[in-house]
Structure 1
């Protein structure tokens, strides 16, 4: 599709509106600092660290994206295995501390969830925040998505566009039976794996191990092993792609988005027999995967970093039908030769986001700069493979930018992955 097509031009209009600005980054840093202040008042959490994860760390959040925070309980240098009842007790203490602080509202304790967590809405921009205990696995998943993010610049754009589209169609809310944001990101990875030619490899080629079971022992050693393995494999993939440059996929954003909706337009029918396996990068028959049997879910999107966990486990049959209808309708509108920007905008973005944003200038935050935060006590910054191993990033046409090999494509990675350590109570 031409770069001057109505769809391509509409996407270029939407992206600056949904990309986080420098202020959006600053607000989230302030919320992290706020939680840190509350945690350090809790006696049972003396010495704990407050660490962000999720889309904020992977740099796959929109301006209105939620914030995920893990409170890490230190047990020397080793990775802690905290029992569920202990997590519930710690979170109850944090809940009380946050109530006393008074900077958030709608506090809710989901004590019986698979991973217990607190949910709150912060007074700053009404950002929703989930807080859990010792969620190192969630942190590592976020870093892996960040490194995947650096392979091709189109990936992040499509993820942001798909997330906003899903919000506009009310199919991005796991508690009501539709898709969570992590699952949506995985669907985009799968789309990039199954494009012709493929843009991303099967994830077993980036990290062949079982992440969930390999996070044990000394934390720094485990993280270093995972980071080093991914760095070597990503470099190998990029080198191989460079040697086969004629086979690169140079699809425009509009081509990729239209084919994304086409690929999943029959997902309600296909899900009856097949699930999505990103580890192998292909559809897989449910009957041939013993971990998926007996078939108890409407849709299977296996977590490639925590198999056989199903990231679409909350999707109901009714919502699966609604999702497929939305995929089909959106594909038809985007693929039509008789579309205009008003129709496209109404299809791809929530209308209440358009008017307030277009009244004031919006800065693209691909490089949010060095925000001078209030007073985060930074003890350690986790290097990304793209920094420590010089993984090059790619531009929107898929070409490698060797001139910027030392710099990651995304905003300052250390900003998103710094650790806030609680000060000892005095």
Structure 2
């Protein structure tokens, strides 16, 4: 099959190759805009440290750990992506259970201390209570919650998975931006579309069914259930070691 291009007749294979090359170039330009620079990382780290100082000034939260999670930790965030932060209340190295009403109270106390420093601070009493606010840098917003330990380990799992193949990060960023452009990236709306984690799982599935396979089944990376196994803070190290060993084994098998 041949096609006319200007005054030339080209075979279909060349047309397809040219189209693929053009698309690849466009996607690379989009990724250049989406990917955060070093200063974006530094700004987020600065905001997290600033929040740590504020939390330490709240009597009911003194001693709590302030940890980020979500796309920032998994390195799957865009330069204007939000930052998810968990305030972890621990008891003797073990995960504490905090009742819903107490979470609301703690976030309300934190809100009082943040209002004079940050902007647009509002408490959202959702199923998982969130304190949403804009950072002092006015570049991105922060979602602050209490004891999201499972979210933290899931974020790190995605980071470890992305080390298998660098194309995973690029694909996730492109899919998330595509979903945003088509307004199907907000699970909190009445329409109930996808959240970022769901979109990332779709990309993982795509990488699992490619020929040849790029990603293994997730059970081959971690066979346990994080929610059942994450009892103490030190168990995170055990999960990390298990994932690292399984990923290393998978990459070695692929290279044979």
User: What is the TM-score when the length of structure 2 is the normalising length?
Assistant: 0.88
Relative distance call for 1:12 and 1:2 in structure 2 (3 A) is: farther
- 1:98 and 1:62 map into 2 onto residues whose CA distance is 25
Q: Partner residue of 1:226?
A: 239
Q: Partner residue of 1:209?
A: 224
Q: Does 1:51 align with 2:67?
A: yes
Q: Is the 8 Å Cα contact of residues 71 and 134 (structure 1) preserved in structure 2?
A: yes
The within-5 A match list for 1:123-162 is 123-162=136-175
Query: By percentage of residues, which structure has more helix?
Result: 2
Q: Partner residue of 2:51?
A: 35
- Three-state SS of the structure 1 residue aligned to 2:145 is strand
The within-5 A match list for 1:7-406 is 7-100=23-116, 102-105=117-120, 107-111=121-125, 113-176=126-189, 177-216=192-231, 218-220=232-234, 222-243=235-256
CA displacement 1:58-95 (0-9 Å, x = unmatched) = 00001111100011113122222222222222111111
CA displacement 1:315-362 (0-9 Å, x = unmatched) = xxxxxxxxxxxxxxxxxxxxxxxxxxxxxxxxxxxxxxxxxxxxxxxx
Q: Is the 8 Å Cα contact of residues 2 and 8 (structure 1) preserved in structure 2?
A: no
- 1:120 and 1:240 map into 2 onto residues whose CA distance is 46
- Three-state SS of the structure 1 residue aligned to 2:95 is coil
Count of paired positions: 238
CA displacement 1:207-248 (0-9 Å, x = unmatched) = 1111011111x311x1122111111111111111111xxxxx
Query: Which consecutive residues of structure 2, in runs of 5 or more, have no partner in the other structure?
Result: 1-15
Query: By percentage of residues, which structure has more strand?
Result: 2
CA displacement 1:249-294 (0-9 Å, x = unmatched) = xxxxxxxxxxxxxxxxxxxxxxxxxxxxxxxxxxxxxxxxxxxxxx
CA drift at 1:37: 2.1
Q: Partner residue of 1:303?
A: none
- 2:44 and 2:35 map into 1 onto residues whose CA distance is 14
- Three-state SS of the structure 2 residue aligned to 1:68 is strand
In angstroms, what is the RMSD of aligned CA positions? Answer: 1.6
User: What is the TM-score when the length of structure 1 is the normalising length?
Assistant: 0.54
- 1:186 and 1:205 map into 2 onto residues whose CA distance is 15
CA drift at 1:159: 0.5
- 2:229 and 2:215 map into 1 onto residues whose CA distance is 24
Runs of 4+ in 1 over 4 A off after TM superposition: 1-4
User: Taking CA–CA contacts closer than 8 Å with sequence separation of 6 or more, which of the two structures ends up with the larger relative contact order?
Assistant: 1
